[in-house]
């Protein structure tokens, strides 16, 4: 695992900062909540506007439609950054599991070819992978 972290560090990739990602998640949640509140408030104002069609259209345009737009924009921000976090975790986990599996295959090939006599002398990463992998 330490070797994997070192290799990732050597790549010097510029990734998304955790604080900016959290900030955008919070902005998405605030927009959704604000949009729903604005939509409800606009709907109540439209109902209480009386018989004036001009007032009803104004309250509908300013409250309900703007509320819907803010809700959709907030939901899009929230989904985008939530999925980005999940997919980044999934990709790192997939790479790690593939490395562990490759170490296990190399260890098996070395034992099968007679390069290793003792199956317990595998690399530390392969042993750690066997200990952590419940399927293996």
User: Is 49 within the bounds of a domain?
Assistant: yes
Which DSSP string corresponds to 24-86? HHHHHHHHHHHHHHHHHHHHHHHHTTTT-HHHHHHHIIIIIIHHHHHHHHHHHHHHHHHHHHH
User: Is 115 within the bounds of a domain?
Assistant: yes
User: Is 67 within the bounds of a domain?
Assistant: yes
Per the structure, the count of domains in the chain is 1
User: Is 6 within the bounds of a domain?
Assistant: no
Position 30 scores a pLDDT of 95
**129 close to 103: Cβ distance less than 8 angstroms:** yes
User: Is 3 within the bounds of a domain?
Assistant: no
**35 close to 69: Cβ distance less than 8 angstroms:** yes
User: Is 5 within the bounds of a domain?
Assistant: no
User: Is 8 within the bounds of a domain?
Assistant: no
Query: How far apart are alpha carbons 25 and 83 in whole angstroms?
Result: 11
User: Is 45 within the bounds of a domain?
Assistant: yes
Domain assignment of residue 128, given as a range: 17-132
Q: What is the pLDDT of residues 86-126, one digit of tens each?
A: 888 888 889 889 999 998 998 888 888 887 765 555 455 54
| Lowest-confidence pick of 37-46, 60-69, 111-120 | 111-120
**104 close to 136: Cβ distance less than 8 angstroms:** yes
Tell me, yes or no, if the pTM score tops 0.75.
no
Q: What is the pLDDT of residues 76-90, one digit of tens each?
A: 999 998 888 888 888
The first and second tokens of residue 48, run together, are: 């209480």
């Amino acid at each position: 695992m330490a070797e994997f972290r070192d290799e990732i560090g050597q790549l010097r990739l510029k990734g998304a900062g955790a604080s900016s990602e959290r900030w955008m998640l919070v902005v998405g949640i605030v927009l959704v909540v604000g949009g729903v509140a604005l939509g409800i408030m606009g709907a109540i104002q439209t109902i209480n506007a009386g018989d004036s069609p001009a007032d009803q259209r104004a309250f509908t345009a300013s409250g309900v439609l703007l509320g819907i737009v803010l809700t959709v924009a907030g939901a899009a921000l929230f989904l985008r950054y939530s999925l980005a976090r999940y997919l980044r975790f999934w990709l790192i986990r997939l790479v790690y599991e593939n490395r562990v599996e490759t170490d296990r295959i190399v260890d098996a090939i070395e034992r099968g070819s007679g390069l290793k006599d003792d199956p317990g002398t595998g690399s530390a990463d392969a042993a750690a992978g066997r200990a952590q992998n419940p399927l293996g």
